[in-house]
Amino acid sequence: MSVAASLHDNTRRCAHFTPTIWGNMFLPFASESKEVDDNVEHKVLKEKLKMLISSNDQSCSQKLNLIDWVQRLGVSYQFEREIEDALAKIHNIYTNNDNAQDKDDNNLHSVALIFRLLRQHGYPISSDVFERFKDVKGKFDNENITEEDVEGMLALYEAAQLEVHGENILEEALHFTYTRLKSLIDNNQLSPGLKARVSHCLSQPLHKRLRRIETRHYISFYQKQQDPSHNHIMLLKFAKLDFNMLQHLHRIELGNVTKWWKESELTRKVPYARDRLVESYFWPLALSYEPQFSTARMVATKLVSIIALLDDTYDVYGTLDELELFTEAIRRWDISLIETLPECMKAVFEAVVELCSEMEMVTAKEGTSNFVMPHVQQAFIELAESYLTEAKWCSEKYVPSYEEYKDNGVLSSTLPLQMISFLGMLGKIATKEVFDWICSSAKIVRAFSLIGRLVDDMATHKFEQEREHVASGVECCMKQYGVSVEEAYQIINDDVKNYWKDMNEECLNNPYNVPNSVLDCVLNMARVCEVVYENLQDRFTNGDDLKHYIVQLLLDPITIDRALTS
| Domains, in order of start, for the chain | 40-238 (1.50.10.130), 240-555 (1.10.600.10)
- Confidence at 11, pLDDT banded by 50, 70, 90: low
pLDDT (mean) for 13-28: 89
Coil vs helix vs strand at 38: coil
Query: Within 13 Å and on the Cβ side, how many CA atoms surround 280?
Result: 26
User: Quick one: pLDDT at residue 133?
Assistant: 86
Q: What is the mean pLDDT of residues 327-332?
A: 97
Of the two residues 533 and 146, the one the predictor is more confident about is 533
User: Count of CB atoms within 10 A of residue 222's CB?
Assistant: 17
Cross-strand partners of 140: 134
Model pLDDT, residue 430: 84
Residue 260, pLDDT above cutoff 50: yes
Q: Tell which wins on pLDDT, 497 or 105.
A: 497
Q: How far apart are CA 48 and CA 244, in angstroms?
A: 20
pLDDT in tens, 261-285: 999 999 999 999 999 999 999 999 9
Q: 104, 61 in Cβ contact below 8 A?
A: yes
Q: What is the pLDDT of residues 378-416, one digit of tens each?
A: 999 999 999 999 999 999 999 999 999 999 999 999 999
Confidence of residue 464 (pLDDT cuts 50, 70, 90): low
- 243: closest CA among 217, 220, 216? 216
> What is the rounded average pLDDT of the residues 7-29?
81
What are the tens digits of pLDDT across the range 280-300? 999 999 999 999 999 999 999
| DSSP 3-state percent helix, strand, coil across the chain (nearest 5) | 75, 0, 25
pLDDT surpasses 50 at 552: yes
Chain center to CA of 170: 23
Residue 560, φ and ψ in degrees, nearest 5: -105, 110
Of 528, 493, 521, 527, the C-alpha closest to 507 is 521
Average of per-residue pLDDT across 469-473:
86
Question: Do residues 215 and 74 lie in contact, with contact meaning Cβ atoms separated by under 8 Å?
Answer: yes
d(CA 488, CA 257): 39
Instruction: Quote the longest CA-to-CA distance of the chain.
Output: 79
Handedness of CA 368, 370, 375, 377 (dihedral sign): positive
Where are the extended beta strands (E) located within 99-203? none
Task: Of 70-74, 95-99, 113-117, 528-532, give the lowest mean pLDDT range.
Answer: 95-99
**Segment 495-526, tens digit of pLDDT:** 999 999 999 999 999 878 888 889 999 999 99
Quote the CA–CA distance of 300 and 114 in Å, as a whole number.
35
Angle between helical axes of 343-366 and 294-312 (0-180°, round to 10): 160
pLDDT of 4 > 50? The answer is: no
pLDDT tier, 259 (very low <50, low <70, confident <90, very high otherwise) = very high
